[in-house]
Structure formats: structure tokens, C-alpha cells
Amino acid sequence: MFVLRLAPGNCVNLDFLTEEFITQALHFPPVSPYTEKEISADHPLRLAGVLVPLVCQAGSWYLLYTRRADGVEHHKGQVSFPGGASDPGESAEQTALREADEEIGIRPADVRILGRLPQIVTISDYLVTPVVGVVTWPYAFRVYTPEVARVFALPLSWLADRNNFMLLMRSETGRHVIAYQPYDAELLWGATAHMTVEFLKILKLL
């Protein structure tokens, strides 16, 4: 087990941001036209859920991320939220909590679910529902090292600074991809960065 130390945030003042504000904002998530287009495609999609873990220390908000181990079959070495494919009959919340427990040892009882972000479709044909939850802090993580190489946190204030990310075009797919500057040697991009930015937009931070 280990307890994560959080670096101070910067740049963006988030004094107005409370748990109640976040919960209310998540009750009215925007609909993504991109998602609707992908859902109408002919190929079937597999359901998945991820936990978007929020923690608060001394009035500052952070998002928790994981870096996948180099030995996993898919997305090795990439930054992601804890999550995975849904079991039959599972809700997105159940999937997100189960996977967070399995991957980094966050017990479901230690998460207060606040709401959902808009679903997205990944290039691997998963329909992913991001579930936002506040994690009790500080926390002693139990990392399942065959799947997860590291748990780390990024300040919401840094993530909300437009100087820290850009929109790129992937030549092989023609899709736009969000990529952040490296932070603490970690590179946040792709689907996880997309979910992060969607969350910030819902909170009116972007």
C-alpha cells in the first residue's frame, strides 16, 4: 500500500468549485454529436465504464489517473482512468467501482458517486461511460501491478489551463486528438484527455 502525495495546483482559481456545484453540473451533461454519430455505426459496440476519481486536499481539486503497465495487451504504457469492460447486467457505476477496486484498491464504499460524463466511443469499439466520484482522502492504494504501473494526480487548475493542451489531427484516422503537455513525466492524451476536457467544460472551466 502507499499514500499519494499531491503537488500544489496553479494558474486557474477554482475557489467556487464545491462538491455540490460539481454534482449539480453533472445533472445536465451536454450531448456529444461525435458520440451519437459513432453509436449509429453498423459495427457492434462493447460496453465499458471508467471511474473519473476526484480528490480534494486543502480546498484544491485533483483528478487521479493510472499509467497502464507495459505488459498489458492493450494501451500499454498509456495514461487512463481506472476502468474496463462491463460484465453482463452491470451498470456503468458498478463497472467503474469494481475496476477501480481491482486495479488500484479503491473500495466502492470510499467513493461518493456524483454523476456521469457523456459517453464516448473508443477506437477499439468500446462505448465508455465515465462515472465521476469523489474518493476519500488521503488514501492507501493497493496497485495491481500486472495492469497498473503507477497512480498519480493532476491538479484541476493545471488541467483547466488552455496553455497546457492542444488539439492534434491523427493522419491515419482523420480524428482530432487532445494532448496535454507532459506533467510529472506523464503524457495525458487521447480518450482519457477527451473525457478530462469534457468534464472541465461541464464545470464551465473551459
Look at residue 174 and tell me if it is in a domain.
no
User: How remote is the C-alpha of 126 from its chain's centroid?
Assistant: 15
* Cβ(116)–Cβ(25) below 8 Å: no
CATH number of the domain within which 84 lies? 3.90.79.10
* Cβ(118)–Cβ(31) below 8 Å: yes
Look at residue 62 and tell me if it is in a domain.
yes
* Closest residue by Cα to residue 56 from 117, 116, 96, 114: 114
User: Which residue type occupies 40?
Assistant: S
What tens digit of pLDDT does each residue of 142-201 get?
999 999 999 999 999 999 999 999 998 665 666 788 999 999 999 999 999 999 999 999
What tens digit of pLDDT does each residue of 32-62 get?
666 655 666 666 789 999 999 999 998 899 9
Look at residue 92 and tell me if it is in a domain.
yes
Look at residue 18 and tell me if it is in a domain.
yes
Look at residue 197 and tell me if it is in a domain.
no
Distance, CA of 36 to CA of 89 (rounded, Å): 23
Q: What domain range is 31 assigned to?
A: 2-159
| Least-confidence region, from 20-29, 37-46, 105-114 | 37-46
Total of domains in the chain: 1
